[in-house]
Structure 1
Amino acid sequence: MTHLTTAPTAGTPAGSAPHGDRIGFAELPDLMSLMTGDEKHGPAATSTLDALWVLYDRVLRVSPGTVTAPDRDRFLLSKGHGPMAYYAVLAAKGFFPTEWLPGFGSYDSPLGHHPDRMLVPGAEIGSGSLGHGLPLAVGTALGLRAQGRPGPAVWVLIGDAELDEGSNHEALAYAAAAGLDRLHTLVIDNASATHGWRGGIASRFEAAGWSAATVDGRDHEALYAAFSTPHPGRPHAVIARVEPKGA
Protein backbone atom coordinates (compact mmCIF):
# COMPACT_ATOMS: atom_id res chain seq x y z
CA MET A 1 0.00 0.00 0.00
CA THR A 2 1.30 3.46 -0.87
CA HIS A 3 0.89 6.62 1.17
CA LEU A 4 0.17 9.34 -1.36
CA THR A 5 -1.22 11.69 1.25
CA THR A 6 2.12 11.93 3.05
CA ALA A 7 4.30 14.82 1.93
CA PRO A 8 7.76 16.05 2.87
CA THR A 9 7.88 18.72 5.51
CA ALA A 10 8.56 22.12 3.96
CA GLY A 11 12.10 23.22 4.53
CA THR A 12 13.45 19.76 5.34
CA PRO A 13 17.20 20.09 4.72
CA ALA A 14 19.01 17.93 2.19
CA GLY A 15 20.37 14.91 4.01
CA SER A 16 17.30 14.44 6.21
CA ALA A 17 14.41 12.04 5.89
CA PRO A 18 10.89 13.49 6.16
CA HIS A 19 10.67 12.34 9.78
CA GLY A 20 14.05 13.80 10.74
CA ASP A 21 16.10 10.58 10.63
CA ARG A 22 19.46 10.78 8.96
CA ILE A 23 19.81 8.38 6.03
CA GLY A 24 23.29 7.80 4.63
CA PHE A 25 24.78 6.07 1.62
CA ALA A 26 25.04 2.75 3.48
CA GLU A 27 21.24 2.62 3.78
CA LEU A 28 20.55 3.17 0.07
CA PRO A 29 20.65 -0.55 -0.89
CA ASP A 30 17.99 -1.19 1.76
CA LEU A 31 15.84 1.57 0.29
CA MET A 32 16.31 0.16 -3.21
CA SER A 33 15.31 -3.31 -1.98
CA LEU A 34 11.89 -1.92 -1.06
CA MET A 35 11.16 -1.40 -4.76
CA THR A 36 10.06 -4.71 -6.23
CA GLY A 37 8.15 -5.87 -9.28
CA ASP A 38 8.86 -6.28 -12.98
CA GLU A 39 10.76 -3.95 -15.28
CA LYS A 40 13.14 -2.72 -12.61
CA HIS A 41 16.15 -2.36 -14.94
CA GLY A 42 18.37 -3.23 -11.99
CA PRO A 43 21.79 -2.74 -13.67
CA ALA A 44 20.69 0.62 -15.08
CA ALA A 45 19.69 1.70 -11.58
CA THR A 46 22.70 0.48 -9.63
CA SER A 47 25.14 1.93 -12.17
CA THR A 48 24.02 5.44 -11.19
CA LEU A 49 23.86 5.02 -7.41
CA ASP A 50 27.27 6.35 -6.35
CA ALA A 51 27.30 9.31 -8.72
CA LEU A 52 23.78 10.34 -7.76
CA TRP A 53 24.61 10.17 -4.08
CA VAL A 54 27.72 12.34 -4.38
CA LEU A 55 25.80 14.91 -6.41
CA TYR A 56 22.91 15.20 -3.98
CA ASP A 57 25.03 14.86 -0.85
CA ARG A 58 27.89 17.22 -1.73
CA VAL A 59 27.29 19.21 -4.91
CA LEU A 60 23.74 20.19 -5.81
CA ARG A 61 22.27 23.28 -4.19
CA VAL A 62 18.71 22.03 -3.95
CA SER A 63 16.68 20.61 -1.05
CA PRO A 64 13.06 19.73 -0.31
CA GLY A 65 12.52 23.31 0.77
CA THR A 66 13.96 24.84 -2.41
CA VAL A 67 12.50 22.67 -5.19
CA THR A 68 10.73 25.70 -6.65
CA ALA A 69 13.31 28.36 -5.79
CA PRO A 70 14.37 30.22 -8.95
CA ASP A 71 18.07 30.07 -8.06
CA ARG A 72 18.21 26.36 -7.19
CA ASP A 73 20.55 24.06 -9.07
CA ARG A 74 18.78 21.91 -11.64
CA PHE A 75 19.34 18.17 -11.96
CA LEU A 76 17.86 16.42 -14.99
CA LEU A 77 17.79 12.63 -15.08
CA SER A 78 17.91 11.73 -18.77
CA LYS A 79 18.72 8.09 -17.98
CA GLY A 80 15.18 7.71 -16.75
CA HIS A 81 14.69 3.98 -17.23
CA GLY A 82 15.57 2.09 -14.08
CA PRO A 83 15.11 5.07 -11.72
CA MET A 84 15.32 3.11 -8.46
CA ALA A 85 18.62 4.66 -7.38
CA TYR A 86 17.23 8.12 -8.16
CA TYR A 87 14.13 7.46 -6.07
CA ALA A 88 16.20 6.04 -3.22
CA VAL A 89 18.45 9.11 -3.13
CA LEU A 90 15.49 11.52 -3.29
CA ALA A 91 13.80 9.66 -0.44
CA ALA A 92 17.01 9.61 1.60
CA LYS A 93 17.31 13.36 1.18
CA GLY A 94 13.72 13.99 2.26
CA PHE A 95 12.12 14.97 -1.05
CA PHE A 96 9.38 12.42 -0.41
CA PRO A 97 8.68 9.81 2.28
CA THR A 98 10.42 6.46 2.21
CA GLU A 99 6.95 4.92 2.62
CA TRP A 100 6.37 5.64 -1.08
CA LEU A 101 9.13 3.25 -2.18
CA PRO A 102 7.36 -0.13 -1.82
CA GLY A 103 4.66 1.08 -4.21
CA PHE A 104 7.17 1.60 -7.03
CA GLY A 105 5.54 0.95 -10.40
CA SER A 106 2.08 0.21 -9.01
CA TYR A 107 -1.11 1.76 -10.33
CA ASP A 108 -1.61 4.33 -7.57
CA SER A 109 2.05 5.19 -6.96
CA PRO A 110 3.71 8.44 -8.06
CA LEU A 111 6.94 6.46 -8.57
CA GLY A 112 6.63 5.14 -12.10
CA HIS A 113 9.08 3.12 -14.15
CA HIS A 114 10.06 6.45 -15.70
CA PRO A 115 10.04 9.55 -13.45
CA ASP A 116 7.18 12.02 -13.93
CA ARG A 117 7.99 15.60 -12.94
CA MET A 118 4.33 16.22 -12.11
CA LEU A 119 4.29 13.40 -9.56
CA VAL A 120 7.82 13.08 -8.12
CA PRO A 121 8.92 15.94 -5.82
CA GLY A 122 12.32 17.20 -6.95
CA ALA A 123 12.16 15.78 -10.48
CA GLU A 124 12.80 18.50 -13.05
CA ILE A 125 11.74 16.57 -16.18
CA GLY A 126 9.74 13.54 -17.23
CA SER A 127 12.35 11.21 -18.69
CA GLY A 128 13.12 7.84 -20.17
CA SER A 129 13.23 8.61 -23.91
CA LEU A 130 16.87 8.26 -24.92
CA GLY A 131 18.53 11.39 -26.21
CA HIS A 132 16.13 13.97 -24.75
CA GLY A 133 17.87 14.97 -21.52
CA LEU A 134 20.97 16.75 -22.79
CA PRO A 135 19.03 18.94 -25.25
CA LEU A 136 16.63 19.82 -22.42
CA ALA A 137 19.58 20.69 -20.19
CA VAL A 138 20.99 22.96 -22.90
CA GLY A 139 17.63 24.70 -23.11
CA THR A 140 17.49 25.04 -19.32
CA ALA A 141 20.95 26.62 -19.20
CA LEU A 142 20.00 29.00 -22.00
CA GLY A 143 16.78 29.92 -20.21
CA LEU A 144 18.59 30.71 -16.98
CA ARG A 145 21.06 32.85 -18.89
CA ALA A 146 18.22 34.73 -20.58
CA GLN A 147 16.68 35.37 -17.15
CA GLY A 148 19.94 36.84 -15.90
CA ARG A 149 20.53 34.03 -13.40
CA PRO A 150 24.23 33.12 -13.52
CA GLY A 151 24.21 31.21 -10.23
CA PRO A 152 22.25 27.98 -10.79
CA ALA A 153 24.20 25.03 -12.12
CA VAL A 154 22.50 22.64 -14.53
CA TRP A 155 23.38 18.95 -14.29
CA VAL A 156 22.14 16.18 -16.57
CA LEU A 157 22.83 12.45 -16.15
CA ILE A 158 22.89 10.38 -19.32
CA GLY A 159 23.86 6.81 -20.11
CA ASP A 160 26.65 5.98 -22.54
CA ALA A 161 24.15 4.31 -24.88
CA GLU A 162 22.28 7.60 -25.16
CA LEU A 163 25.25 8.92 -27.10
CA ASP A 164 24.09 6.68 -29.94
CA GLU A 165 21.35 9.29 -30.42
CA GLY A 166 22.15 12.15 -32.78
CA SER A 167 20.23 14.70 -30.72
CA ASN A 168 22.89 14.51 -28.03
CA HIS A 169 25.69 15.33 -30.45
CA GLU A 170 23.84 18.37 -31.75
CA ALA A 171 23.29 19.51 -28.16
CA LEU A 172 26.88 19.03 -27.02
CA ALA A 173 28.22 20.84 -30.10
CA TYR A 174 25.90 23.79 -29.50
CA ALA A 175 26.56 23.95 -25.74
CA ALA A 176 30.28 24.48 -26.21
CA ALA A 177 29.82 27.00 -29.01
CA ALA A 178 27.42 28.95 -26.78
CA GLY A 179 29.85 28.87 -23.84
CA LEU A 180 27.32 27.34 -21.44
CA ASP A 181 29.71 27.08 -18.52
CA ARG A 182 26.90 26.38 -15.99
CA LEU A 183 26.05 23.18 -17.86
CA HIS A 184 27.41 19.84 -16.62
CA THR A 185 26.87 16.41 -18.16
CA LEU A 186 27.43 13.23 -16.17
CA VAL A 187 27.82 10.19 -18.42
CA ILE A 188 27.47 6.78 -16.78
CA ASP A 189 29.70 4.50 -18.85
CA ASN A 190 28.82 0.84 -18.33
CA ALA A 191 29.95 -0.23 -21.82
CA SER A 192 26.41 -0.49 -23.17
CA ALA A 193 26.79 1.84 -26.18
CA THR A 194 26.64 0.45 -29.69
CA HIS A 195 29.08 3.02 -31.03
CA GLY A 196 32.28 4.33 -29.51
CA TRP A 197 35.02 6.90 -29.91
CA ARG A 198 38.72 6.49 -30.31
CA GLY A 199 40.19 7.84 -27.10
CA GLY A 200 37.01 7.27 -25.11
CA ILE A 201 33.83 9.23 -24.44
CA ALA A 202 35.68 12.19 -22.93
CA SER A 203 37.44 12.75 -26.24
CA ARG A 204 34.08 13.31 -27.95
CA PHE A 205 33.22 16.13 -25.55
CA GLU A 206 36.72 17.61 -25.67
CA ALA A 207 36.64 17.67 -29.47
CA ALA A 208 33.52 19.83 -29.24
CA GLY A 209 35.19 22.25 -26.81
CA TRP A 210 34.04 20.89 -23.47
CA SER A 211 36.07 20.39 -20.32
CA ALA A 212 36.00 16.66 -19.52
CA ALA A 213 37.19 14.17 -16.92
CA THR A 214 36.97 10.38 -16.69
CA VAL A 215 36.79 8.76 -13.25
CA ASP A 216 35.93 5.56 -11.41
CA GLY A 217 32.16 5.76 -11.00
CA ARG A 218 32.33 4.02 -7.61
CA ASP A 219 35.01 6.28 -6.10
CA HIS A 220 33.20 9.04 -4.22
CA GLU A 221 36.24 11.27 -3.74
CA ALA A 222 37.20 10.98 -7.41
CA LEU A 223 33.63 11.78 -8.41
CA TYR A 224 33.52 14.83 -6.16
CA ALA A 225 36.85 16.09 -7.46
CA ALA A 226 35.64 15.75 -11.04
CA PHE A 227 32.28 17.35 -10.25
CA SER A 228 33.96 20.36 -8.66
CA THR A 229 36.69 20.92 -11.28
CA PRO A 230 36.73 24.57 -12.47
CA HIS A 231 35.89 24.99 -16.17
CA PRO A 232 35.60 28.72 -16.93
CA GLY A 233 33.89 29.53 -20.20
CA ARG A 234 33.12 25.91 -21.09
CA PRO A 235 30.56 23.26 -20.20
CA HIS A 236 31.91 20.30 -18.26
CA ALA A 237 31.47 16.55 -18.73
CA VAL A 238 32.25 13.83 -16.20
CA ILE A 239 32.44 10.28 -17.50
CA ALA A 240 31.88 7.83 -14.63
CA ARG A 241 33.04 4.34 -15.53
CA VAL A 242 31.28 1.47 -13.76
CA GLU A 243 31.19 -2.30 -14.22
CA PRO A 244 29.97 -3.36 -17.67
CA LYS A 245 26.24 -3.87 -18.15
CA GLY A 246 25.22 -7.26 -16.89
CA ALA A 247 28.40 -7.76 -14.83
Structure 2
Amino acid sequence: MSGEMQLDTCDLLRAKAAQARKLIVETVYHAKAGHIGGPMSAADILVALYFDALNIKPEQPDWEERDRFVLSKGHSAIALYSVMALRGYFPLEELATFDSLDSRLQAHPDMLALPGLDMSTGSLGQGISAAVGMALGAKLKKRPFYTYCMLGDGESQEGQVWEAADIASRYGLDNLIVILDYNRLQQYGWKGTETERDKPVHQPQARWEAFGWRVIDIDGHDMEQITTSLRQARQHTGSPTVIIAHTVKGKGVSFMENNYLWHSRIPTDAELEQALSEIGKGV
Protein backbone atom coordinates (compact mmCIF):
# COMPACT_ATOMS: atom_id res chain seq x y z
CA MET A 1 0.00 0.00 0.00
CA SER A 2 1.43 3.37 -1.01
CA GLY A 3 1.75 6.20 1.50
CA GLU A 4 -1.04 8.12 -0.26
CA MET A 5 -3.41 5.14 -0.22
CA GLN A 6 -2.50 4.48 3.43
CA LEU A 7 -3.38 8.08 4.29
CA ASP A 8 -6.72 7.87 2.46
CA THR A 9 -7.58 4.62 4.20
CA CYS A 10 -6.64 6.00 7.61
CA ASP A 11 -8.74 9.13 7.03
CA LEU A 12 -11.74 6.94 6.29
CA LEU A 13 -11.06 4.80 9.36
CA ARG A 14 -10.76 7.87 11.58
CA ALA A 15 -14.14 9.09 10.34
CA LYS A 16 -15.66 5.68 11.08
CA ALA A 17 -14.16 5.73 14.58
CA ALA A 18 -15.79 9.11 15.23
CA GLN A 19 -19.12 7.68 14.07
CA ALA A 20 -18.64 4.72 16.40
CA ARG A 21 -17.92 6.97 19.38
CA LYS A 22 -21.06 8.98 18.72
CA LEU A 23 -23.09 5.78 18.56
CA ILE A 24 -21.54 4.54 21.82
CA VAL A 25 -22.45 7.71 23.73
CA GLU A 26 -25.93 8.00 22.19
CA THR A 27 -26.77 4.35 22.78
CA VAL A 28 -25.70 4.33 26.43
CA TYR A 29 -27.60 7.58 26.98
CA HIS A 30 -30.84 6.21 25.50
CA ALA A 31 -30.51 2.79 27.15
CA LYS A 32 -29.67 4.36 30.52
CA ALA A 33 -27.21 1.49 30.90
CA GLY A 34 -23.82 0.34 29.69
CA HIS A 35 -20.16 1.26 29.77
CA ILE A 36 -18.52 4.24 28.07
CA GLY A 37 -14.86 4.64 29.12
CA GLY A 38 -13.54 1.30 27.88
CA PRO A 39 -15.58 1.30 24.66
CA MET A 40 -14.25 4.76 23.80
CA SER A 41 -10.63 3.65 24.28
CA ALA A 42 -11.23 0.61 22.05
CA ALA A 43 -13.11 2.31 19.21
CA ASP A 44 -10.16 3.07 16.91
CA ILE A 45 -8.81 -0.48 17.15
CA LEU A 46 -12.20 -2.10 16.54
CA VAL A 47 -12.76 0.07 13.47
CA ALA A 48 -9.32 -0.84 12.10
CA LEU A 49 -10.12 -4.51 12.64
CA TYR A 50 -13.58 -4.59 11.08
CA PHE A 51 -12.96 -2.16 8.23
CA ASP A 52 -9.39 -3.09 7.31
CA ALA A 53 -7.75 -6.11 8.94
CA LEU A 54 -10.34 -8.85 9.37
CA ASN A 55 -11.17 -11.21 6.51
CA ILE A 56 -14.94 -11.28 6.99
CA LYS A 57 -18.26 -11.26 5.14
CA PRO A 58 -20.92 -9.36 7.13
CA GLU A 59 -23.63 -10.70 4.82
CA GLN A 60 -22.43 -14.23 5.65
CA PRO A 61 -21.45 -14.07 9.34
CA ASP A 62 -20.97 -17.84 9.65
CA TRP A 63 -18.56 -18.07 6.68
CA GLU A 64 -16.19 -20.88 7.59
CA GLU A 65 -13.03 -19.17 6.35
CA ARG A 66 -13.63 -15.89 8.20
CA ASP A 67 -11.15 -14.50 10.67
CA ARG A 68 -12.35 -14.84 14.26
CA PHE A 69 -12.56 -12.03 16.79
CA VAL A 70 -13.05 -12.35 20.54
CA LEU A 71 -13.81 -9.30 22.68
CA SER A 72 -12.44 -10.61 25.95
CA LYS A 73 -13.28 -7.33 27.72
CA GLY A 74 -16.95 -8.10 27.12
CA HIS A 75 -18.28 -5.15 29.12
CA SER A 76 -17.20 -2.98 26.16
CA ALA A 77 -19.79 -4.69 23.97
CA ILE A 78 -21.43 -1.43 22.89
CA ALA A 79 -18.22 -0.48 21.06
CA LEU A 80 -18.26 -3.79 19.20
CA TYR A 81 -21.97 -3.48 18.37
CA SER A 82 -21.52 0.06 17.09
CA VAL A 83 -18.70 -0.98 14.77
CA MET A 84 -20.55 -4.11 13.60
CA ALA A 85 -23.62 -2.02 12.79
CA LEU A 86 -21.50 0.42 10.78
CA ARG A 87 -19.94 -2.57 8.98
CA GLY A 88 -23.36 -3.88 7.99
CA TYR A 89 -23.94 -6.85 10.29
CA PHE A 90 -27.30 -5.43 11.35
CA PRO A 91 -29.23 -2.14 10.94
CA LEU A 92 -28.00 0.89 12.84
CA GLU A 93 -31.53 1.32 14.18
CA GLU A 94 -31.17 -1.91 16.15
CA LEU A 95 -28.72 -0.19 18.48
CA ALA A 96 -31.77 1.40 20.10
CA THR A 97 -32.59 -2.03 21.57
CA PHE A 98 -29.26 -2.29 23.42
CA ASP A 99 -29.55 -3.99 26.83
CA SER A 100 -33.31 -4.38 26.59
CA LEU A 101 -35.25 -7.58 27.19
CA ASP A 102 -35.03 -10.01 24.25
CA SER A 103 -32.58 -7.76 22.37
CA ARG A 104 -29.82 -9.40 20.35
CA LEU A 105 -27.53 -6.69 21.74
CA GLN A 106 -27.09 -7.62 25.36
CA ALA A 107 -24.82 -5.77 27.78
CA HIS A 108 -22.19 -8.45 27.17
CA PRO A 109 -21.76 -10.29 23.84
CA ASP A 110 -24.01 -13.34 23.41
CA MET A 111 -22.98 -15.46 20.41
CA LEU A 112 -26.26 -17.36 20.57
CA ALA A 113 -28.23 -14.14 20.14
CA LEU A 114 -26.29 -12.17 17.53
CA PRO A 115 -24.83 -13.70 14.34
CA GLY A 116 -21.30 -12.49 13.76
CA LEU A 117 -20.12 -12.92 17.33
CA ASP A 118 -17.52 -15.66 17.68
CA MET A 119 -17.62 -15.91 21.48
CA SER A 120 -19.84 -14.97 24.41
CA THR A 121 -17.75 -12.98 26.88
CA GLY A 122 -18.07 -11.00 30.07
CA SER A 123 -16.37 -13.13 32.69
CA LEU A 124 -13.09 -11.27 32.59
CA GLY A 125 -9.96 -13.14 31.60
CA GLN A 126 -11.74 -15.99 29.83
CA GLY A 127 -11.92 -14.64 26.29
CA ILE A 128 -8.27 -15.20 25.48
CA SER A 129 -8.60 -18.88 26.36
CA ALA A 130 -11.37 -19.24 23.79
CA ALA A 131 -9.22 -17.39 21.25
CA VAL A 132 -6.31 -19.76 21.91
CA GLY A 133 -8.64 -22.69 21.31
CA MET A 134 -9.80 -21.24 17.99
CA ALA A 135 -6.25 -20.61 16.84
CA LEU A 136 -5.09 -24.06 17.90
CA GLY A 137 -8.07 -25.63 16.13
CA ALA A 138 -7.18 -23.76 12.95
CA LYS A 139 -3.62 -25.07 13.16
CA LEU A 140 -4.72 -28.66 13.69
CA LYS A 141 -7.24 -28.52 10.84
CA LYS A 142 -4.87 -26.53 8.61
CA ARG A 143 -7.40 -23.73 8.20
CA PRO A 144 -6.17 -20.36 6.93
CA PHE A 145 -8.03 -17.98 9.22
CA TYR A 146 -6.51 -15.80 11.95
CA THR A 147 -7.92 -15.27 15.42
CA TYR A 148 -7.84 -11.84 17.03
CA CYS A 149 -8.58 -11.10 20.69
CA MET A 150 -8.91 -7.79 22.51
CA LEU A 151 -7.91 -7.84 26.16
CA GLY A 152 -8.46 -5.20 28.80
CA ASP A 153 -5.57 -4.33 31.08
CA GLY A 154 -7.73 -4.70 34.18
CA GLU A 155 -8.75 -8.23 33.25
CA SER A 156 -5.08 -9.07 32.71
CA GLN A 157 -4.86 -9.48 36.48
CA GLU A 158 -6.61 -12.83 35.97
CA GLY A 159 -4.25 -15.79 36.10
CA GLN A 160 -6.15 -17.47 33.30
CA VAL A 161 -4.83 -14.83 30.90
CA TRP A 162 -1.26 -15.88 31.54
CA GLU A 163 -2.04 -19.59 31.41
CA ALA A 164 -3.52 -19.00 27.96
CA ALA A 165 -0.52 -16.89 26.96
CA ASP A 166 1.80 -19.72 27.96
CA ILE A 167 -0.12 -22.34 25.95
CA ALA A 168 -0.29 -20.08 22.87
CA SER A 169 3.47 -19.67 22.91
CA ARG A 170 4.10 -23.35 23.56
CA TYR A 171 2.16 -24.33 20.42
CA GLY A 172 3.59 -21.54 18.30
CA LEU A 173 0.23 -20.01 17.47
CA ASP A 174 1.38 -17.40 14.99
CA ASN A 175 -2.22 -17.24 13.75
CA LEU A 176 -3.23 -15.61 17.04
CA ILE A 177 -3.07 -11.83 17.48
CA VAL A 178 -3.93 -10.25 20.82
CA ILE A 179 -4.53 -6.52 21.23
CA LEU A 180 -4.13 -5.17 24.76
CA ASP A 181 -6.30 -2.08 25.30
CA TYR A 182 -3.79 -0.51 27.66
CA ASN A 183 -5.75 2.49 28.96
CA ARG A 184 -4.14 2.05 32.41
CA LEU A 185 -7.36 2.76 34.29
CA GLN A 186 -9.63 0.05 35.63
CA GLN A 187 -12.94 0.60 37.37
CA TYR A 188 -11.83 1.27 40.94
CA GLY A 189 -8.07 0.83 41.18
CA TRP A 190 -6.25 -0.96 43.99
CA LYS A 191 -7.62 -0.94 47.51
CA GLY A 192 -5.73 1.49 49.71
CA THR A 193 -4.55 3.75 46.88
CA GLU A 194 -6.72 6.74 47.67
CA THR A 195 -4.45 9.41 46.21
CA GLU A 196 -3.57 7.72 42.93
CA ARG A 197 -4.76 4.80 40.87
CA ASP A 198 -2.07 2.29 40.03
CA LYS A 199 -1.79 0.86 36.53
CA PRO A 200 -3.60 -2.48 36.30
CA VAL A 201 -0.60 -4.13 34.62
CA HIS A 202 2.97 -2.97 35.08
CA GLN A 203 5.58 -3.56 32.36
CA PRO A 204 3.24 -5.40 29.98
CA GLN A 205 5.89 -5.65 27.25
CA ALA A 206 8.32 -7.50 29.51
CA ARG A 207 5.56 -9.79 30.77
CA TRP A 208 4.38 -10.85 27.32
CA GLU A 209 7.93 -11.28 26.07
CA ALA A 210 8.63 -13.51 29.07
CA PHE A 211 5.83 -15.79 27.85
CA GLY A 212 7.42 -16.04 24.41
CA TRP A 213 5.25 -13.59 22.48
CA ARG A 214 6.30 -11.10 19.87
CA VAL A 215 5.39 -7.64 21.20
CA ILE A 216 4.48 -4.57 19.15
CA ASP A 217 4.06 -1.32 21.10
CA ILE A 218 1.83 1.38 19.56
CA ASP A 219 -0.31 4.44 20.14
CA GLY A 220 -3.76 2.87 20.15
CA HIS A 221 -5.36 6.00 18.73
CA ASP A 222 -2.95 6.51 15.82
CA MET A 223 -4.72 4.84 12.90
CA GLU A 224 -1.57 4.47 10.83
CA GLN A 225 0.21 2.72 13.70
CA ILE A 226 -2.81 0.49 14.33
CA THR A 227 -3.20 -0.66 10.73
CA THR A 228 0.54 -1.15 10.29
CA SER A 229 0.89 -3.19 13.48
CA LEU A 230 -2.02 -5.45 12.54
CA ARG A 231 -0.44 -6.08 9.15
CA GLN A 232 2.94 -6.79 10.74
CA ALA A 233 1.36 -9.18 13.23
CA ARG A 234 -0.29 -11.12 10.43
CA GLN A 235 3.01 -11.46 8.57
CA HIS A 236 4.92 -12.71 11.62
CA THR A 237 5.60 -16.45 11.93
CA GLY A 238 6.77 -18.75 14.70
CA SER A 239 5.03 -17.25 17.72
CA PRO A 240 1.85 -15.38 18.68
CA THR A 241 1.85 -11.58 18.63
CA VAL A 242 0.49 -9.11 21.15
CA ILE A 243 -0.06 -5.48 20.23
CA ILE A 244 0.16 -3.27 23.31
CA ALA A 245 -2.06 -0.35 22.37
CA HIS A 246 -1.55 2.66 24.62
CA THR A 247 -4.99 4.22 24.83
CA VAL A 248 -6.98 6.79 26.80
CA LYS A 249 -10.07 5.73 28.67
CA GLY A 250 -13.00 7.86 27.50
CA LYS A 251 -11.03 8.97 24.41
CA GLY A 252 -12.66 11.74 22.39
CA VAL A 253 -14.57 13.54 25.13
CA SER A 254 -12.63 15.90 27.39
CA PHE A 255 -14.52 15.31 30.62
CA MET A 256 -14.46 11.54 30.16
CA GLU A 257 -10.80 11.10 29.32
CA ASN A 258 -8.72 9.44 32.06
CA ASN A 259 -11.65 9.71 34.48
CA TYR A 260 -12.40 6.37 36.13
CA LEU A 261 -15.92 7.53 37.00
CA TRP A 262 -16.80 7.15 33.31
CA HIS A 263 -16.06 3.44 33.37
CA SER A 264 -19.82 3.04 33.63
CA ARG A 265 -21.95 6.14 33.87
CA ILE A 266 -24.94 7.59 32.00
CA PRO A 267 -24.49 11.05 30.42
CA THR A 268 -26.94 13.81 31.32
CA ASP A 269 -28.64 15.76 28.53
CA ALA A 270 -25.97 18.48 28.73
CA GLU A 271 -23.13 15.95 28.83
CA LEU A 272 -24.53 14.16 25.79
CA GLU A 273 -24.68 17.40 23.83
CA GLN A 274 -21.13 18.35 24.77
CA ALA A 275 -19.79 14.86 24.05
CA LEU A 276 -21.31 14.70 20.58
CA SER A 277 -20.02 18.18 19.80
CA GLU A 278 -16.46 17.32 20.85
CA ILE A 279 -16.44 14.03 18.94
CA GLY A 280 -17.66 15.84 15.83
CA LYS A 281 -14.88 18.41 16.05
CA GLY A 282 -12.29 15.68 16.25
CA VAL A 283 -13.08 14.26 12.81
Q: TM-score, normalised by structure 1?
A: 0.85
Contact 2:184–2:201 under 8 Å retained in 1:
no
What RMSD over aligned residues (CA atoms) do the two structures have, in Å? 1.7
Partner residue of 1:246 out of 259, 265, 282: 259
User: Is 1:170 matched with 2:173?
Assistant: no
Contact 1:34–1:102 under 8 Å retained in 2:
no
Q: CA separation in 2, counterparts of 1:170 and 1:192?
A: 23
Q: Deviations over 1:62-106 (max 9, x none)?
A: 121332122110011111103111111000000011111011111
Q: CA separation in 2, counterparts of 1:209 and 1:39?
A: 39
Q: Which structure dedicates a bigger proportion of its chain to helix?
A: 2
Letter in 1 for 2:170: A
Residue aligning to 1:43:
37
SS at match of 1:66: coil
Letter in 2 for 1:24: K
Q: CA separation in 2, counterparts of 1:190 and 1:29?
A: 16
Contact 1:134–1:156 under 8 Å retained in 2:
yes
Unpaired runs of 5+ residues, structure 2, are 1-14, 191-199, 250-257, 261-283
How big is the shift at 1:242?
Answer: 1.1
Contact 1:114–1:127 under 8 Å retained in 2:
yes
Residue aligning to 2:210:
207
Contact 1:96–1:121 under 8 Å retained in 2:
no
SS at match of 2:69: strand
Residue aligning to 2:274:
none
Contact 1:34–1:101 under 8 Å retained in 2:
no
SS at match of 1:239: strand
SS at match of 1:123: coil
Unpaired runs of 5+ residues, structure 1, are 1-22
Contact 1:212–1:238 under 8 Å retained in 2:
yes
User: Is 1:82 matched with 2:76?
Assistant: yes
Partner residue of 2:221 out of 218, 222, 233: 218
User: Is 1:233 matched with 2:238?
Assistant: yes
Contact 1:104–1:111 under 8 Å retained in 2:
yes
How big is the shift at 1:190?
Answer: 1.0
Letter in 2 for 1:242: T
How big is the shift at 1:143?
Answer: 1.1
Aligned positions of 1:7-156 closer than 5 A: 24-35=16-27, 36-149=30-143, 151-156=144-149
Large movers: runs of 4+ above 6 Å = none
Letter in 2 for 1:205: W
SS at match of 2:94: helix
Q: CA separation in 2, counterparts of 1:30 and 1:131?
A: 28
Partner residue of 1:187 out of 167, 176, 180: 180
Letter in 2 for 1:189: Y
Letter in 2 for 1:224: T
Q: CA separation in 2, counterparts of 1:99 and 1:38?
A: 17
Q: CA separation in 2, counterparts of 1:137 and 1:54?
A: 19
Q: CA separation in 2, counterparts of 1:56 and 1:120?
A: 16
Q: CA separation in 1, counterparts of 2:206 and 2:72?
A: 21
How big is the shift at 1:27?
Answer: 2.3
Q: CA separation in 2, counterparts of 1:102 and 1:221?
A: 32
SS at match of 1:64: coil
Letter in 1 for 2:37: P
